[in-house]
Every structure is written in C-alpha cells, then in structure tokens.
Amino acid sequence: MTQIASQGSQSLKPAAESLPSAAEGTMVGNGLGLIFRLARRQWPALAAAAAFAVLAVAFELVPYLAVYRIAVEVFSEAPRPEAMVRLAWLAFGAVVLQFVCIAVSNTVAHAAAFRLLRQVRTELTEKMARLPLGFFDRRESGDLKKALVEDVGSLEGVLAHNIPDIVSGILVPLAAGVALFWVDWRMALASLALLPVGIAAQMWAFRDMDAQYRLWHRTEAAANAGVLEYLRGIAVLKAFNRTAGSLERLRSAVYGVRDVATAMTRRSMYPYALFFIALGSNLLVVLPVGIALHLHGGLGLPQLCLFLVLGAGLTAPLIKLMFVFGSTSRTIMGAGRIQAILDAPPLPEADGPVQPADYGVRFVDVHFSYDGAKSALQQVSFTAQPGRVTALVGPSGAGKSTVARLIARFWDVDAGRVEVGGVDVRALGLEALMGHIGFVFQEVFLLHDSVRENIRLGCAGASDAEVEAAAQAANAHTFIQALPDGYDTQLGDRGARLSGGEKQRLAIARAILKNAPILLLDEATAFADPENELAIQQALAELIQGKTVIVIAHRLASVADADHIVVFNGGTVEDQGTHGELLGRSGTYRRLWAAQQQAVGWTMTTATGEEAHAG
C-alpha cells in the first residue's frame, strides 16, 4: 500500500503541478495573450464576423421599432392601414436579414477560427519536435494530448462564437440605450434603474472568487489524481485486499470536490439570484413609472409601448455576456496551457553539426538536477572507450538511468559536459546525435501502429525482410507470429497488449535494425523470463560487436566481464575499474556482488541462474 501510494504520488506530481496556485495568474494572462495574438492574425475576418453579428442584432431591433411605429399609427388621429402593412413587411424583411447576417457571421468566424486552429496545432507539433525529450518524460502524456486536442479545440468556441457575441453584447445595449434616451430620457433611466443592483450583485458574487477557483482547481486535481492512482494501482490493491482502504482515500477526494462545489454554489446562490432578478425584471420599474408618466407626465401611449417591449429587454444581453465570460474562463486556462508549451525553452541546436572523431563517450564533471533543487548527478566523470563495453552499476536511484538519458540528450547537463568522440553532444546536432545512438530503455515507447512499423522505427528505410531478421535476432519473431495478425498486429496505447519482456524485445529488435555505433542498454533483460534471457543475451552479444556499449544492469553476473565498470552511489561515481579491481577495493561493489550471489543461489534450482552466473 505504502509502495503504491508513494509511487502514485510521485508519478502524479506533474499532473497536480500543472495547476499550481501561484502560476495560475500567469496562466490566465498567457491564455488571454494567446487568444488576442491569434485574433489579431485573422482580424479582418473576425472583425467582419463581429460586424455582421452587430448588424444581426440591429435587424433584431427593427421589429420592435416597427411595432412602435404601428402603435403610433394606431393611436394617431387618422391611422393609415397601408403604412401599417409597410411596417409589417419591414419587420418581416428585417427578420430575414437578421438570419442572413447570423449565417454570414458564423461562416466567416468559423472559417477564420479553423485556419487559426490549424496554425496553432502546426506550431505546437513543430515546437514539440524541438523540445528536450525530458519535457515529455516529465509530463503525463494525457496532459499533452489535452493541450493538443481539447484545449486547441475549445479555442474554436472563443474565436468563432464568443468574439462576435461579446462585441454585439456590448454594442447593442449601448445603441439601444442611446435610442431610448432619445425617445424619452425619464423612461430610459427607469429601464436602467435596476442595473446598479445587478452590477452590485455581480461584484458580491465575485468577491474573492479567485481564491475560490484556485481551491476548486486544486481539489479537482487532487480528485483526478486520486482516481488515476486508484486505477493504476487497482491490481496491486486487490492483491493485497486493500480496495476498501484505498476507496476511502478516493471517496474523501471526491467528497472534497463536492464540498467545495457546494460551498461555492451556496456562497454565490443569493448574489446570482439577485443578479438575475435585477436584470430580468426591470418591467417592475418600467411599468409603474411608465403608467405614472403616461397619466401625469405627458408620455404618449406609443412611447410607453416601445419601452414595454424594448426597455424591458435592454439588460438581457448583459446576462448573455455574463454567461459568455463564465464559459470562456476554462478556455482561457486551456490557452494558457498551450502557451506554456509554446514558451517552453527548446533544446539549443548546434549551428553546424560536427563530426565526432570516434564513438567513445566521455562525462566530464557533469552536474545535473531534474527539478533544479535535488541533484541527481554530481561531479560525474568517466570514459566509455569506443568499441568497448562499459557497465554502470549501483543501487536503485543512484543515477544510472539519468546518465543514459543525458547521453541521448533527453536533458542537457547543468554543468560539465557529455562528449561523443571528443565533441560536446550539444555541438553535434540533435539529428546527428540520434543517428549515432541506439537505445533500449527501462520504459519502452510503442507507437499506435503495427508491430512491423514499431520495429521499423529503428531504420525508416528497412525492408520487411530486414525487420523480420532483426526480430529474429532479438528473439521476438516467435511471439510476434503468435499475435493475431503477426507483424501487422496493431499495438494499443503504449503497447498495452504486450508483456514487459515482449516490449523490451521489440525495443532490442529496433536497436538491432538501427545498428548505431553507440548502444545504451538500460535493464535490457529485466523483464525477460529465464528461457528467453539467454537468447536475448546472445542477441545482444551479436548486436554489441564493435560498438560502444553502455549497459546498466542489476544482474552483476551479466556485466562482470565488461571492459570497464563504473560504480554509482547517490549520484556520484564512487569507483571505477574492472570486476577484479572493484571486488578488491569497492565496498559498494562487493555488497552488490554479494547480493547478486545470494539471488543466484536463490534461483539455483531453476538451473538457468547457474548458467548466467557461469558466464
């Protein structure tokens, strides 16, 4: 349970961190900035869309004015029927034009919005290609998918709908207000009498709303994390009969969201009720004031009618405006997430790629920290000779995988340098560097594609026969043929349908196909079953011929005859040398070796442990 909990909270940290309370202000600023920048790029189209939206609302007002004119006719000395028919036709024509304007506004706004969405998606994918791989390592892949699909998608709503809505929601009440003041200023004031109450109610509802929303986002993130943790750990939890206990954690997280939401609703219930009543019922003021003015103030009946139909609806667009602002807040946060990706510092690219002298790898006084606080590597210096096998050993968390990631430039070092063939990896050019390196890492990444294409990732131009030969060499051919569609079997999300050992063998096949001069192997045999382990070792022995190999393995037996062994402990190089030398002088190495011997002894009965040991 504790193990799952700590694992869960560690891997879930980034998700929770994507909504840090301090950075939320900048998220909103960034989001608005992005929306304005995008809107500027297509401003003629968006301005046209807004203009048509305003026209549409202007036409919407025409029937009211027609009713007013008809009322004037009806109450005049000599009503003219043909004038009234003309007004009726005018009203009808205005309604038709209103719908035409809405259609034009929508079409133009959507076309502009989709052009912008395409640009944003292209920019995001281009940006992602230039980001350090570590950037993706650190983030939940769901987070990036959310930015690329959902957040970009919701921008469409703001650009295509809300901009026209906001423009017309502000301009139309203004224009109508001016028109009403021109007709009768006393009645216009009466129409707006409840507006201050509405504004006050709104301010009341929004008092310390910021803090409320932050609390809400934090609780929601915690609940999401709780759900994810529960789903990820469900197998282990079940195995330890702990579902009830963990459900309790999940339940309290979910109830936390409920409590915060209820509290927020309670707080804003009365202000909102007041807001809607104030803006929705100005008839309560318009009617008595209108009747009084009609009886004693010289207000004509037609004017009274006009205010009853138009004045009563004057504040309605403000309600709509408030809904628009409410619904955009999420989108603005999403735009902030997009901007955060666009703003992430890209991996610095070399000016002109340099050719390395050979394929040796050298660490010179390397310091590195993942988060800028806790250092993962300090003063790490060692040399992996070209064409030789260098093994990295050490207890869990010592920094071995970090070393491998730095060679492949998932991250750049904080101080010191990593060299390939005497050239700093930062000067090699990312593409060239990637061309020199093949790797099989602890985490195997598989594409949503066929097995064949997943192996072909190692070498884009490889023929089917070459792919199959690589799979044979990696001892993967047999299990691939047993899959439903053989080499054409589609792999699920992160290769969910394959076992850990099978995924690793695909990664080895990929590396075999790539045939790069530098090979990074991190726990390459960790998941393999005993029968396959030997076959994989043989495949690797074939693969590593003449290459610079940096191998990380917990099974010391498989690295005992490496040319050079580097012992890591707590992020530093504690010692280095050959197996014999290290056994003689390194306490850590002796301990690791003794633990290994015990493990071998423990598995002796399976006979394969003995074989591996003998190697």
Nearer to ligand ATP, 63 or 399 (CB): 399
How many residues touch Mg ion under the rule CB under 5 A: the total is 1
For ligand ATP, which residue of 241, 396, 545, 605 counts as binding (CB under 6 A)? 396
Nearer to ligand ATP, 63 or 571 (CB): 571
For ligand ATP, which residue of 402, 454, 489, 596 counts as binding (CB under 6 A)? 402
Helix (H, G, I), strand (E, B) or coil at 384: strand
Nearer to ligand ATP, 87 or 408 (CB): 408
Q: Measured from the CB of residue 397, what is the shortest distance to Mg ion in angstroms?
A: 8
311 contact, one of Mg ion, ligand ATP, none, CB 5-8 Å limit per kind: none
Nearer to ligand ATP, 69 or 400 (CB): 400
* Contact between 246 and 230 (Cβ < 8 Å): yes
Residues with Cβ within 8 Å of 611's Cβ and at least 6 positions away in sequence, in order, are 534
421 contact, one of ligand ATP, Mg ion, none, CB 5-8 Å limit per kind: none
Q: Measured from the CB of residue 10, what is the shortest distance to Mg ion in angstroms?
A: 14
Nearer to Mg ion, 515 or 572 (CB): 572
| Cα–Cα distance for residue pair 283/312, rounded to 1 Å | 5
Q: Measured from the CB of residue 280, what is the shortest distance to ligand ATP in angstroms?
A: 53
Neighbours of 543 (CB within 10 A): 24
Q: Measured from the CB of residue 401, what is the shortest distance to Mg ion in angstroms?
A: 3
Q: Which of residues 306-345 bind ligand ATP (CB under 6 A)?
A: none
Which span (124-132, 312-320, 399-407, 582-590) binds ligand ATP, by CB under 6 A? Answer: 399-407
Which span (8-16, 397-405, 473-481, 512-520) binds Mg ion, by CB under 5 A? Answer: 397-405
Nearer to Mg ion, 202 or 442 (CB): 442
Cα–Cα–Cα angle for 509, 514, 517, nearest 5°?
A: 120
| CA dihedral sign of residues 411, 412, 415, 421 | positive
- DSSP-assigned letters across all residues of 425-492: HHHH-HHHHHHHEEEE-SSPP--SSBHHHHHHTT-TT--HHHHHHHHHHTT-HHHHHTSTTGGGPBP-
- DSSP-assigned letters across all residues of 339-356: HHHHHSPPPPPPSS----
Q: Measured from the CB of residue 14, what is the shortest distance to Mg ion in angstroms?
A: 18
Q: Measured from the CB of residue 556, what is the shortest distance to ligand ATP in angstroms?
A: 12
Nearer to Mg ion, 502 or 522 (CB): 522
For ligand ATP, which residue of 94, 166, 260, 398 counts as binding (CB under 6 A)? 398
Beta bridge partner(s), residue 84 = none
DSSP type of residue 35:
H
Residue 355 contacts ligand ATP per CB under 6 A: no
Q: Measured from the CB of residue 408, what is the shortest distance to ligand ATP in angstroms?
A: 13
Q: Measured from the CB of residue 451, what is the shortest distance to ligand ATP in angstroms?
A: 27
In 3D space, the residue among 511, 433, 437 whose CA is nearest the CA of residue 467 turns out to be: 511
Q: Measured from the CB of residue 555, what is the shortest distance to ligand ATP in angstroms?
A: 12
For ligand ATP, which residue of 168, 315, 401, 537 counts as binding (CB under 6 A)? 401
In 3D space, the residue among 330, 10, 12, 9 whose CA is nearest the CA of residue 140 turns out to be: 12
**Exposure string for 224-253, b = 16+ CB within 10 A, e = fewer:** bbbebbbeebeeebeeeeeeeebeeebeeb
Residue 461 burial (CB < 10 Å; 0-12/13-18/19+)? Answer: exposed
Residues with Cβ within 8 Å of 61's Cβ and at least 6 positions away in sequence, in order, are 172, 176, 310
| CA dihedral sign of residues 543, 583, 564, 132 | positive
Q: Measured from the CB of residue 244, what is the shortest distance to ligand ATP in angstroms?
A: 31
Nearer to ligand ATP, 18 or 268 (CB): 18
Residue 443 burial (CB < 10 Å; 0-12/13-18/19+)? Answer: exposed
Nearer to ligand ATP, 73 or 140 (CB): 140
Q: Measured from the CB of residue 23, what is the shortest distance to Mg ion in angstroms?
A: 30
For ligand ATP, which residue of 217, 337, 400, 514 counts as binding (CB under 6 A)? 400
Q: Measured from the CB of residue 41, what is the shortest distance to Mg ion in angstroms?
A: 45
Neighbours of 275 (CB within 10 A): 23
Nearer to ligand ATP, 88 or 599 (CB): 599
396 contact, one of ligand ATP, Mg ion, none, CB 5-8 Å limit per kind: ligand ATP
Residue 334 burial (CB < 10 Å; 0-12/13-18/19+)? Answer: buried
**Exposure string for 339-376, b = 16+ CB within 10 A, e = fewer:** bbbbeeeebeebeebbebeebbbbbbebebbeeeeebb
Q: Which of residues 133-192 bind ligand ATP (CB under 6 A)?
A: 137-138
Nearer to ligand ATP, 307 or 382 (CB): 382
Nearer to ligand ATP, 137 or 210 (CB): 137
| Cα–Cα distance for residue pair 205/610, rounded to 1 Å | 73
Nearer to ligand ATP, 462 or 567 (CB): 567
370 contact, one of ligand ATP, Mg ion, none, CB 5-8 Å limit per kind: ligand ATP
| Cα–Cα distance for residue pair 73/86, rounded to 1 Å | 12
| Cα–Cα distance for residue pair 412/403, rounded to 1 Å | 11
Q: Measured from the CB of residue 459, what is the shortest distance to Mg ion in angstroms?
A: 26
For Mg ion, which residue of 328, 401, 558, 596 counts as binding (CB under 5 A)? 401
138 contact, one of Mg ion, ligand ATP, none, CB 5-8 Å limit per kind: ligand ATP
Nearer to ligand ATP, 257 or 347 (CB): 347
Q: Which of residues 120-139 bind ligand ATP (CB under 6 A)?
A: 137-138
The contacts found for 295-301 with CB under 8 angstroms, 24 or more apart, are 297/186, 299/184, 299/186, 299/187, 300/72, 300/75, 301/71, 301/75
Locate 93 and state its tokens: 């024509």
Tell me the CA distances in angstroms from 174 to 171, 177, 203, 592, one per residue in order: 5, 5, 21, 79
* Contact between 565 and 579 (Cβ < 8 Å): yes
Q: Which amino acid is residue 362, in one-letter code?
A: R
Q: Measured from the CB of residue 403, what is the shortest distance to ligand ATP in angstroms?
A: 7
Which span (181-189, 216-224, 394-402, 465-473) binds Mg ion, by CB under 5 A? Answer: 394-402
Count of CA atoms in the C-beta half-sphere (13 A) of 571: 11
- What is the x/- site pattern for ligand ATP, positions 365-394, by CB under 6 A? -----xx----x-----------------x
**Footprint of ligand ATP on this chain (CB under 6 A)?**
137-138, 370-371, 376, 394, 396-402
**Footprint of Mg ion on this chain (CB under 5 A)?**
401
